[in-house]
């Protein structure tokens, strides 16, 4: 009896009533965090190595209480957190969370399946297929990208994984024609504004780094890839005996949300038998709105298309959506079929096994959260979510335009504003001025923005996208920028 009493407080691996009790406490903790999120510095102000001084150097031998752990989270972990969900977060691109996405994550964690093949949890595979078709229809993607055609959709972890798997599929497809010995001659193309994940994919794919073409862009095209520049590069490489095989175009580049001209690029790629991938990791979410879908014109020429629901579509990280026109190319490149995974449904080609559409074997039940987001908000709720941020960015753009000390550098299309502080006539290092402004603003802890470099100029980026952001937060951020700019200019 005494032993039973002593063990009653021990946290068992999974017990329904203990789960209920502890999960209530955790949800309360998280809800309180969101209630007070504006009280934290947006950008963590700790120094490297801070946490090692606060935590013991070995794991505890005996269990501790949840209350003790949560106290440590409050006192030791939260100071080292940069608060991506803060309404004063305007850095990089957003990484949305939502109640629906959070609930979907809870449910996925509760089931805790490893859904690499249909038989391991039929609902996980079939729900993923269905919700990817739902979103393909919402984006007006060509029927070839639907599961009822030759292609279909799959959830990857990130856009980096998405571009890697399609690059491998494209590589293997061309090598089946020209022979494996031609690998050193393969050439990829993208603009110099394309995300660095493409270069990493080329490194992993064993491609010659000299033949990963980064084609120059400039302000004359608003940093979009020129079809003429692409066409000339392809012609030069063919004349040199090389083999062009992969083009990555972007709808909404990281630096400035530039939009590559998909119709013109796609036609060139088709004529030259080049795999055409479209990366809309950020801006794809806005394209659920009818008024922004024209930015995807030309996607019918693409072989693959990617967007991140976890960026701006209220779906908690990670949830990167990839569609391909020809799923067989992906499967031929990534499929393995060991004896211990064989089953009647798979062997009979009656089902999709998503293990053959990705790098790892195991996969989480990620479609649950996307399904819940789409059902609990509906497409119209998601459209209004992105429209609100775009309107707030337009409002910020107007504020910048009203202050003659600042300049908007590139046209705003979605919810990112690129701008810079103009230097006085006697200032030589204009980049240092803007770098100092960035550091000064972020050191306040009241707002967090990031930068890029365009045509050699240091540019400030203001990306609206946190679910809790309202106009008052944009106003507050602008006041800080103005105050710090005044102080900097006064010190020159």
% pLDDT > 90, the chain: 86
Q: Max CA-CA distance within the chain?
A: 86
Check residue 7 and give its pLDDT.
Answer: 44
pTM equals 0.93
Cite the residue boundaries of each domain of the chain with CATH code 3.40.640.10: 103-374
Check residue 56 and give its pLDDT.
Answer: 94
**DSSP labels for 262-313?**
HHHHHHHHHHTT-EEEEE-TTGGGGGGSGGGGGGGTTGGG-SEEEEEHHHHS
* CATH number at 103-374: 3.40.640.10
Confidence of residue 73 (pLDDT cuts 50, 70, 90): very high
**DSSP labels for 373-395?**
HHHHHHHHHHHHHHHHHHHHHHH
Cite the residue boundaries of each domain of the chain with CATH code 1.20.1340.10: 3-83
For 326, phi then psi, to 5°, come to: -130, 95
Check pLDDT > 60 for residue 354.
Answer: yes
Element of type H or E holding 314: none
- Least confident range from 84-93, 107-116, 180-189: namely 107-116
Confidence of residue 211 (pLDDT cuts 50, 70, 90): very high
- Least confident range from 91-95, 110-114, 123-127, 350-354: namely 350-354
Confidence of residue 343 (pLDDT cuts 50, 70, 90): confident
Instruction: Give 37 or 348, the one with higher predicted confidence.
Output: 37
Q: Which residue's entry shows tokens 């337009």?
A: 394
Confidence of residue 351 (pLDDT cuts 50, 70, 90): confident
Check residue 160 and give its pLDDT.
Answer: 92
349: left (phi over 0), alpha (psi -120 to 50) or beta: left
Class of domain 3-83: mainly alpha
Distances in whole angstroms, Cα of residue 425 to Cα of each of 148, 322, 403, 491:
62, 49, 17, 14
């Amino acid at each position: 009896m005494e032993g039973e009493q002593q063990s009653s407080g021990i946290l068992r691996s999974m017990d329904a009533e203990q789960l209920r009790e502890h999960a209530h406490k955790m949800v309360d903790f998280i809800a309180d965090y969101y209630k007070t999120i504006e009280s934290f510095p947006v950008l963590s102000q700790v120094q490297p190595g801070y946490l090692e001084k606060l935590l013991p150097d070995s794991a505890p031998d005996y269990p501790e209480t949840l209350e003790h752990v949560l106290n440590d989270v409050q006192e030791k972990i939260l100071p080292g957190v940069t608060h991506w969900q803060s309404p004063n977060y305007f850095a990089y691109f957003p990484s949305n969370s939502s109640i629906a996405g959070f609930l979907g994550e809870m449910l996925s964690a509760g089931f805790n399946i490893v859904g690499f093949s249909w038989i391991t949890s039929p609902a996980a595979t079939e729900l993923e297929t269905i919700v990817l078709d739902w979103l393909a229809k919402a984006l007006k993607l060509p029927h070839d990208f639907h599961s009822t055609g030759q292609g279909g959709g799959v959830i990857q972890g990130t856009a980096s994984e998405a571009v890697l798997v399609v690059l491998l599929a494209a590589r293997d497809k061309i090598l089946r024609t020209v022979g494996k010995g031609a690998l050193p001659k393969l050439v990829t193309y993208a603009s110099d504004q394309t995300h660095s994940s493409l270069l990493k994919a080329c490194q992993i794919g064993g491609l010659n780094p000299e033949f990963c073409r980064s084609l120059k862009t400039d302000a004359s095209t608003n940093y979009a890839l020129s079809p003429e520049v692409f066409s000339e590069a392809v012609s030069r490489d063919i004349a040199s005996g090389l083999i062009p095989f992969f083009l990555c175009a972007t709808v909404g580049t990281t630096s400035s949300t530039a939009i590559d001209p998909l119709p013109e690029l796609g036609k060139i790629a088709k004529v030259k038998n080049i795999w055409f991938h479209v990366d809309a990791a950020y801006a794809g979410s806005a394209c659920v709105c009818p008024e922004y879908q024209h930015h995807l014109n030309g996607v019918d020429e693409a072989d693959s298309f990617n967007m991140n629901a976890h960026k701006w579509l209220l779906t908690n990280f990670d949830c990167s959506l990839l569609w391909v026109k020809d799923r067989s190319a992906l499967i031929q490149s990534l499929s393995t079929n060991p004896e211990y995974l064989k089953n009647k449904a798979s062997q009979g080609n009656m089902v999709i096994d998503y293990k053959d559409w990705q790098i790892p074997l195991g996969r989480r039940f990620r479609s649950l959260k996307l399904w819940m987001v789409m059902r609990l908000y509906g497409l119209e709720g998601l459209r209004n979510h992105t429209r609100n941020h775009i309107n707030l960015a337009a409002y910020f753009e107007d504020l910048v335009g009203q202050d003659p000390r600042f300049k908007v550098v590139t046209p705003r299309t979605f919810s990112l504003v690129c701008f810079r502080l103009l230097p006085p006539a006697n200032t030589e290092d204009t980049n240092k001025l803007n770098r100092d402004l960035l550091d000064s603003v972020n050191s306040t802890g009241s707002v967090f923005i990031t930068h890029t470099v365009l045509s050699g100029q240091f540019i400030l980026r203001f990306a609206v996208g946190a679910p809790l952001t309202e106009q008052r937060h944009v106003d507050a951020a602008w006041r800080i920028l103005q105050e710090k700019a005044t102080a900097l200019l006064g010190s020159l």
